[in-house]
Amino acid sequence: MEITDLDGVFCNGIKEGKLGLGLVKFNGSIAGVFTGNRIKAAPVIVCQENIRKGYAKGLIVNSGNANAFTGEQGLEDAKEMCKIAGQLFGCRSDEVAIASTGVIGRKLDVEWIRKKAPEVYRDLGNSVEHAERFAKAIRTTDKFIKKAYSKTAKISALAKGAGMISPNLATMLCFVFTSAKFEGGELYEILKRAVKPLNRLTVDGDTSTNDTVLLIATGRERVNRDVFEEELERVFYNIAKQIAKDGEGATKVFEVFVRGAMSERSAEIAAKAVANSLLVKTAVFGCDPNWGRIIASLGYSGAEVDEKITVAFENEERTVVLVDRGKILENEDKAREIMKGDFRIIVDLHKGSFEDYAIGCDLSYEYVKINSEYTT
């Protein structure tokens, strides 16, 4: 297991059926970024408030119930969760960060949490196994836990996320711990910039009400800020790829690199349009090098494009150009081979010098199965 440097970070979690509870005790600086959805879940509102002061002493996370669209009651319940955790951690309620994931619009079972929290607390520890237990407890439809680390920058990241994943976050919970020393404000600046890979990720274009990414720095070591920021972005990129890999029903991950765009914005919307296209996603699932769908999605993306586009597929071993500045090369057979595993779609718009990327996954029968049978 790649998690490392959990110095000063004590985790544990349990899962009972669809319900899960995770606790993390620490003492450090904290910064967070949250969902762009206008309907924000109660825990998101409470967490934003609690971490405003730039430090926190612990974290409580539940899975199975998003505590979203739950009005005043939801806010009370989220605060109650913080209180329960605070009593165990020996700190104030408003020194506890919080996140929830699961079904929307159901009252939270606070009594279950009140009963389980002491059990979880009792076995807190800072081993890799403890971190793994926490990560397992906060899963919903995830098939595996997401984790990444940087030895250089003393970073460990744990995440959950599989559905409702869209550009600009999703029901993605991502908790990053570092023993590096940064104050709250600086930590937020770093986080805001480095979190980009998670904003380039799309599974189904649906943005959740609960997305939460927290960066917690226990401040035990000095790390150069530039190195830290670069390593943190790499960690997020790694997590983003894992979430796409576990995209509900996904059989493979594909990345879309767009270059030669007229502006930064153009590059971004072009890459996202391709990664989000249901027709592209199903073609990827079927190993069908139907690049016409890529061209069509570039065409409606809003980016400046004309027919002089280059499209290539690439994996670790080779690159197959399908369309070269609008000229069709009839390399479908070679492209089909590449599509059997994870691969990259490279697009050159030949319009300018901007580039960006998006990370997506294919759309399979399994996605439909998972999402037509999930809640009730």
Q: Are 260 and 269 spatial neighbours (Cβ–Cβ below 8 Å)? A: no
Query: What is Dmax (Cα atoms) for the chain?
Result: 67
Q: Is 140 a catalytic residue?
A: no
Among positions 8, 45, 48, 69, the unique one binding a second copy when judged by CB under 8 A: 69
**Exactly one of 39, 118, 151, 193 binds a second copy (CB under 8 A); which one?**
39
Based on CB atoms, which residue is closest to a second copy, 136 or 272? 272
Q: How many CA atoms lie within 13 A of 70 on its CB side?
A: 26
| Smallest separation (angstroms) from a second copy to the CB of 305 | 5
Regarding 376 and contact with a second copy (CB under 8 A), the answer is yes
Q: Which residues contact 286 (CB under 8 A, 6 or more apart)?
A: none
In the region spanning residues 87 to 106, those forming contacts with a second copy, defined by CB under 8 A, are 103-105
Selected binder of a second copy within 208, 212, 238, 331 (CB under 8 A)? 208
Q: Please state the closest distance from residue 161 (CB atom) to a second copy, in A.
A: 14
Size of the site for a second copy (CB under 8 A): 62
The single residue among 38, 111, 122, 317 that binds a second copy, judged by CB under 8 A, is: 38
The strand pair at 146-150 and 155-160 is best described as: antiparallel
The footprint of a second copy on residues 241-300 (CB under 8 A) is 276-279, 282-283, 285-286, 288-293, 295-300
Pairing, β 343-348 against β 310-314 = antiparallel
Residue with tokens 């999402």, as numbered in its chain: 371
Q: Nearest CA to 275 among 284, 265, 263?
A: 284
Both tokens of 158, joined, read 């744990």
Q: b/e per residue, 280-299, with b = 16+ CB within 10 A?
A: bbbbbbebbbbbebbbbbbe
- 304-343 residues in contact with a second copy (CB under 8 A) are 304-307, 323, 326, 328, 332, 336
Query: Which residues does residue 16 pair with via DSSP β-bridges, in sequence order?
Result: 19
**Given the residues 101, 140, 141, 171, the one annotated as active site:** 171
Contacts of a second copy in 122-181 (CB under 8 A): 163-164, 166
Closer of 1 and 39 to a second copy (Cβ): 39
If the CB atoms of residues 63 and 277 are measured against a second copy, the closer one turns out to be 277
The helix or strand, by DSSP H or E, that contains position 326, with its residue range, turns out to be none
Indicate the pairing of strand 19-34 with strand 10-16: antiparallel
Please name the helix (run of DSSP H) or strand (run of DSSP E) that holds residue 327, with its range, or none: strand 327-328
* Smallest separation (angstroms) from a second copy to the CB of 80: 19
Q: Which of residues 123, 132, 206, 221 is near a second copy by CB under 8 A?
A: 206
Which member of 68, 145, 153, 217 binds a second copy (CB under 8 A)? 68
Residue with smaller CB distance to a second copy, 150 or 208: 208
Whichever of 105 and 352 has its CB closer to a second copy, that residue is 105
Q: Which residues pair with 253 in a beta bridge?
A: 361
Q: How far is CA 277 from CA 32, 70, 96, 182, 302, in A?
A: 30, 32, 39, 40, 14
CB of 49 to a second copy, least distance (A): 17
Contacts of 66 (CB under 8 A, 6+ apart): 41, 100, 101, 102, 103, 104, 171, 208, 209, 210
- Cβ distance to a second copy smaller for residue 5 or 362: 362
> Can you tell me the distance from the alpha carbon of 286 to that of 282, in angstroms, rounded to the nearest whole number?
6
- Interface positions with a second copy (CB under 8 A): 36-40, 66, 68-69, 71, 103-105, 163-164, 166, 204-209, 276-279, 282-283, 285-286, 288-293, 295-300, 304-307, 323, 326, 328, 332, 336, 363-365, 367-369, 371-376
Active-site positions read: 171
